Each structure stands twice: as C-alpha cells, then as structure tokens.
Structure 1
Amino acid sequence: MVQVDPFLAYGIGAAFALAAPPTIGTTRDQNGRHSQEAFLVALLYLGVLLAPSGLWLLAYFPAWETMQLTTRPPSWLPAVFASGVVLLGCVGFTVTAGLLRRNAPWPAVMQVVWAPSVLCFLLLHGWDGTGLRRFLTATATHGPLPVQPLHDLAGRWITTPVAHTLGTMAAVLAAVLFVLLRRLRMRVPSARLRTEQLVDPGPATAATHFAATVLTTMAVLGGSVASSLALLVGVLGPVLGTSLFLAAALPLLHPRGPLARFLVGRCLPVRTDPAPSSVVSAATPNALGQQRS
C-alpha cells in the first residue's frame, strides 16, 4: 500500500546494512567494500523488486493500494511512490550503517523493528481507526467503508485477486530477501554467530540464523508492537493508550535488557582469533576501544 510501503523499504534497507557490519580485525577498506556491496544489492532489490511490485498493485488495484482514498490516482503518484520507496530504503541503510560505525548496535537493530511496527500499526489502526477495515476491502467502495464484521470481510478478502497477488508477491520478496541477506552475511570477514555453544556453527549456519532472525524480527516483533499499540489506542484512546504502551514497551526494549542482548547477539557477528581469550565483538564498546589503542 502507498501509505505503508515506504516504512517497509526503510526496514529492508536497515536489514541490508546489518548484513554487512564493520568487524574487528578487518581494515577500513575491507569494511567499506562490503558495505558498498550491500548498499548496491539493497538498491537493486528496492528498485527491481519492491518498488515495481507496489506499482503493479497500484495499477491493477488502485483503491486497495491507496487504502480506499481514490480509484483514480493522479498521474504523478506512481513516480513519487516508486522514488520514495527507493529513497526511504537508502535512508534506512545509511542510518543503520552509521549507527554500526558509531558502535551503537542496539539502535542499529531497532531500525528493523520500528519501521515494520509503524507499517503494521497503519494497517491495523490507520490514521482514523479503520486501517484493518480498509485493508480488508479489496474493491472500491465509492462511499463509506463496509460495516460488516471484520471476520466476514477477512473471509471474503482471502478469495479476491488482490489477496492472491499480494500473497504471491510477499512470498517471492521474502524468499529473495532471505537469500540475499544470507549471502551478504557469508561474505563478511570472520563473521561468526554469537553463541554459548562450544562448537562454532560456521559461517553458513551463522548467516542462515542471521537472515532468519532479521525476517522474524521484522514480522513478529514489529507486528506484536503494532498490535499492542493498536489495541491500546483503540480501547483507551490515543493519549492513554500510547502512554500505557510506552510504559510497558520501554523496559522491554531497554538496551541492556534480555531482548536487546539476544537480538544484538543474533544480528551482529564476532571475530574469532586463535586464542579464545582474544575473541572480540563488533558490538562491544571495549573491543572498539582496544582497537583504537
């Protein structure tokens, strides 16, 4: 949808940046080459797959793609939409890569959390509380939105061409993204999965875990955050609902909390030297301080 795809693009750009982080023990030129390679792959993914898929939906299902705002989009909308998707993806990559260079691992990982969360919130709640109803209305309404129960709308929606097209596109986009993230991570020098296991899982397994973690974080954690916020806002109102959500979410998302440690450990590599005591992490402030000294 036109309103949410830019946030999806931002999260995808951030994911590509996480796939090629700077690592301890490699030169600045090596880190730069891998980051540039990841940026080019992200640019191709955004320009060749993500933006055209949105343009396809806009051309064939304009009412649904614009969340029932218009059945005849203005002539300038496709160009602005496609360029905005690519631009926001590049912004997501640049912001995340900058955070990684500044040794801010948790804020970098959070880039693949907040953007999908905004996307899901717009789909579930929208700007007026009718986001999910707009999403489940496959055809143009030419008036007020349908008042049928949401489960009836969902049952009819899954049989529509827009649902079949969207499902096929989502499967292809997710599969290609998984493969690209995995291959990029495997090219990072000395990339290893942070693990408590005695046996090193190896770069291939570590890369698979990374790609799976990123996609799961975007879908599950982003969706959970958005669902909680949408439910609280819908029941308690925007002020009280948002306040209660922040009170519960901020401790959960604390940089030193268990969730942060788990996701940073899964998403960022470590460099393993011959001596066990010399293992340093790309996400550890002390490691970067030792490197500078």
Structure 2
Amino acid sequence: MLGVYADLPWSYAAGAGIALAAAHQLRGAGPPPRPARGVTGRYLLLAMAYGAVVFVPASLLVAHRYPQWATLQYGDGVPLARLAAAELALTAAGFLVTRLLLAAGRTRWAASQVIFGCLVMCVAVVHGPDGDGWKRFLSRDRAAFADFPEFQTVADAGAIAGHAAVFLTSGLAVTLYLTGAVTLGVLGLIMGVLHQFGLTDAGADGPGPLRAAFAAAVTGAGVAAVAALVSLLVHGVGWVAAAAVAPVLLVAVAARGAYATVLIDDLALPADHPTDE
C-alpha cells in the first residue's frame, strides 16, 4: 500500500502488533497457567486473515496500478505473487516472533518488534535506498521524480510544495487515502478489540480504546520523527551514522525502564518476568 519497500516491514509490524495486542491471552503460552489448546493458532489465523483479506490485496492493488511509484521509480513492474507471499510470510514471522517473546516473559522485546518494524517502514519512506525516499514517495512515476524541484534556497520551498500538492491531489493519492483508511482502520479495530478483551480477561485496570489509540498515535509520530532524524544523519555523515545510532535506539526503546517499558505500563500489558535479566 505504501510501496514495496515499506509494505514488507509493515507486514512484519502488523503481525507483531496483533500478537502484542493479544499479549494477555498469549502470555499464558509460557509458564502456567497455560491457555486453552489452540489459542495461539486462533490469533495467528486472525493475523493471517488480516494480511490475506485486507493488507495484501490493498498492497497488490497499488503495486499493480502504479508499479513505478510502488518500486520508488526503480522498476516498471512488480512480481505480485512473490510480493504477496513475502508479505504473508512476514506477517506470520512478526506474529510468531512476538508470541515467542511474550511466552518467554520478554514483553519489552515483544513491544520492540512493533516499534522497530514501524521504524524500518518509516525509514523506507523517508530515506529510501538512496536518500531520496520522500522525494520518490511524492512522485507518481519516473518522469515526476525527474522533475522534482531541487532545494537550493528558501524560495525553492514553494516549488516543492507545489509538486507535493500535485501528488496529494492525484488519483494515486486518493487510492492511498482509501486503502490506508481500510488497512489502518481494520488493523486498529483488531488490535483494539484484542487489547480490551485481554484487559478484561486478566482483570487489569488498563486504558480504554481512545487512550490506547492515542498511545499508538504518539508512538507512531515518534517513530516517524526518529526516521527523519536518522535520514538527516545518514545524509550528513553517511551510513556509519546509522551504525552508531542503532545501539542508542536499541537502548532507548528496549532497555529496562526505556520507552517500551513506559508503553507496556501505559497499556497495562503483562510485565516482564522478574527473572528475565
């Protein structure tokens, strides 16, 4: 839906997100008490149904109708069957890895699967393979990308805004608005319902749907901002900057007491086992 480079990490993050939303239900897969037989399979089936019925068709629709945009102007066509298989495989992988982490009591690392999956997706959009990801994203095809205004002075901002406005009012953009509303809306509904049912089953005093959605939105905005900063660092210093920033981000997200812990507490997800580390 956001192009080949972004749809693959989206698939992983979506599978991980569905597993994380069902953390209370799946956490019992580890030490007793264990959930009823087949619980994991039911939630995995739900994640795969989201991928097969909602996300993959939306992704293939955009890739088929706008192949140059979907490949960031690198190709004229997309192998749709391979793309669909890769997206479904990544959805399953995201779910299963997160489920295993939850069963092992590593909720912080489970939450990190979603956060870092979204970060990779945002970096793919903002930076892309060559640093011009956002320019390619705002260009419908190869010709539009070739005509993208160069930014030399502040006066060039108007031309860039005009280029963006043309894209944002194009048929491609309308398609993205519609498919985005469906894919995000359905994913949000699935995760919201699973989260609320999990809180009820666990007897946990957690946030309502609106507050949980707000926490997700804040996390998404933060991830997008970090992706933009990473892109700026890579532009200024090179990919060595990304290598230097990676461990910092890992600590900032996954370390005990870091962002993943705050998010887990805010959403009333199961805490890490005390014997984890």
Contact 1:182 1:208 in 2 (8 A): no
Instruction: Show the 5 A alignment for 1:107-256.
Output: 107-141=109-143, 145-149=146-150, 150-188=160-198, 190-192=201-203, 200=205, 205-206=207-208, 209-214=211-216, 216-217=218-219, 219-239=220-240, 241-243=241-243, 245-246=245-246, 248-256=248-256
Could you state the TM-score of these two structures normalised by the residue count of structure 1?
Answer: 0.79
Task: Report the Cα offset of residue 70 of structure 1.
Answer: 2.1
Q: Read off the aligned partner of 1:20 and give its amino acid letter.
A: A
2:75 maps to 1:54? no
CA spacing shift, 1:182–1:156, aligned 2, 3 Å: same
Distance 1:118 1:247 in 2: 15
Could you state the TM-score of these two structures normalised by the residue count of structure 2?
Answer: 0.83
Distance 1:160 1:235 in 2: 32
Greater shift after overlay, 145-154 or 119-128?
Answer: 145-154
Distance 1:49 1:26 in 2: 35
Kindly provide the CA deviation profile for residues 180-237 of structure 1, in whole angstroms up to 9, marking residues without a partner as x. 11222233363355xxxxxx46xxx5455445534543x2232122111111111222
Distance 2:189 2:134 in 1: 31
Q: Provide the alpha-carbon RMSD of the alignment.
A: 2.6
Distance 1:106 1:171 in 2: 29
Task: Report the Cα offset of residue 13 of structure 1.
Answer: 0.2
Distance 1:247 1:67 in 2: 29
* Residue 273 of structure 2: aligned partner: 285
Distance 1:177 1:59 in 2: 23
Distance 2:143 2:27 in 1: 53
Q: Read off the aligned partner of 1:104 and give its amino acid letter.
A: R
Greater shift after overlay, 164-173 or 150-159?
Answer: 150-159
Distance 1:247 1:187 in 2: 35
Q: How many residue pairs are counted as aligned between the two chains?
A: 260
CA spacing shift, 1:9–1:267, aligned 2, 3 Å: farther
CA spacing shift, 1:58–1:247, aligned 2, 3 Å: closer
Contact 1:251 1:257 in 2 (8 A): no
In structure 1, the gaps of 5 or more residues are: 194-199, 270-281, 289-293
2:28 maps to 1:40? no
Q: Read off the aligned partner of 2:4 and give its amino acid letter.
A: V
Choose between structure 1 and 2: higher helix proportion. Answer: 2
Instruction: Show the 5 A alignment for 1:24-103.
Output: 27-30=33-36, 33-71=38-76, 73=77, 77-103=79-105
Task: Report the Cα offset of residue 167 of structure 1.
Answer: 1.2
Kindly provide the CA deviation profile for residues 28-84 of structure 1, in whole angstroms up to 9, marking residues without a partner as x. 233x5443222111111100110000111112111111111122x16xx00000111
Greater shift after overlay, 120-129 or 45-54?
Answer: 120-129
Kindly provide the CA deviation profile for residues 104-129 of structure 1, in whole angstroms up to 9, marking residues without a partner as x. 11110001111111111111111111
Distance 1:26 1:208 in 2: 32
* Residue 154 of structure 2: aligned partner: none
CA spacing shift, 1:247–1:50, aligned 2, 3 Å: closer
Contact 1:18 1:109 in 2 (8 A): yes
* Residue 257 of structure 2: aligned partner: 257
Larger Rg: 1
SS at structure 2 position matched to 1:187? helix
SS at structure 2 position matched to 1:253? helix
In structure 2, the gaps of 5 or more residues are: 151-159
Distance 1:108 1:229 in 2: 23
Greater shift after overlay, 81-90 or 130-139?
Answer: 130-139
Sequence identity (%): 27
